[in-house]
Amino acid sequence: GNSVTQMEGPVTLSEEAFLTINCTYTATGYPSLFWYVQYPGEGLQLLLKATKADDKGSNKGFEATYRKETTSFHLEKGSVQVSDSAVYFCAHLASGNQFYFGTGTSLTVIP
């Protein structure tokens, strides 16, 4: 079946720390992969995406690489800021027009 498993939170980091949020997926075929971010009180916004194996998505200092061999799409940032505090969702789009989202990982960055 189709599913997304991501690292449980909450995650608390100090400013300028390194961030990794793990995400693995199961899907039929070769899905497109996404990271969405949700700031408090808002809807989800696309952070980055990758549509084929070995593609690297990047935006605002965040990166994730589509690893077909490990079915993973881990999110990384070298130096987090307080403004990065949010909930991060990994998602994939397989066949049938349906997105599958992970449960979300809450990140809090403290000064």
Least distance in angstroms from the C-beta of 13 to another protein: 21
Can you say whether the dihedral through the CA atoms of 49, 61, 74, 43 is positive or negative?
Answer: negative
Q: Please state whether beta strands 75-77 and 62-65 pair in parallel, antiparallel, or not at all (unpaired).
A: antiparallel
Beta bridge partner(s), residue 89: 36
Least distance in angstroms from the C-beta of 59 to another protein: 12
12 versus 51: smaller Cβ distance to another protein: 51
- For tokens 């989202």, the residue is 101
Least distance in angstroms from the C-beta of 106 to another protein: 11
17 versus 101: smaller Cβ distance to another protein: 101
Q: Is residue 105 within 8 Å of 4, Cβ to Cβ? A: no
Which residues sit at the interface with another protein, rule CB under 8 A? 4, 31-32, 36, 41-46, 49, 51, 89, 93, 97-99, 101-104
